[in-house]
A = this chain, B = another copy of it.
Amino acid sequence: MEQLEVMAEHYKMLSDKSRLTILACLKEREMCVCDLVEILQSTQPNVSQHLRKLKAAGLVTETRKGQWVYYALNVSDKPYLEETLNYLPSFKEKVLQVKGIC
């Protein structure tokens, strides 16, 4: 797939409020699904499906840790994404609030 198509696919990942929120949270630290369900105030399948898309597009990586699956941001090789994500509003506070729930 050519460069513009890849970029378009990546930007599509940023074109949804839920996914932007997920990415903003993952900027703070890696998080498990239930953390994100809590922050997004959404359902587990909904969050899982957004994470699946982000993973398929290569924007996040997945690591199972026992019962939990942690997702981490993976944009260091995509500078046009990394830069633009720096402009997302901070979710530091909300991320701190769910710290330790899981």
**Chain A contacts to B: CB under 8 angstroms:** 3-5, 7-9, 11-12, 14-17, 20-21, 24, 79-81, 83-84, 86-89
| Interchain CB contact (< 8 A) of A4 among B8, B12, B17 | B17
Judging by beta carbons under 8 Å apart, are B17 and A8 in contact?
A: yes
For this chain, the copies found in one complex come to: 2
Q: Closest 8 A-B residue pairs measured CB to CB?
A: A80-B87, A12-B15, A11-B14, A84-B84, A11-B15, A15-B15, A8-B17, A80-B84
Judging by beta carbons under 8 Å apart, are B3 and A8 in contact?
A: no
| Interchain CB contact (< 8 A) of A14 among B8, B17, B88 | B8
> Secondary structure of the A side of the interface?
helix
Q: Kindly list chain B residues whose C-beta atoms are within 8 Å of the C-beta of A24.
A: 4
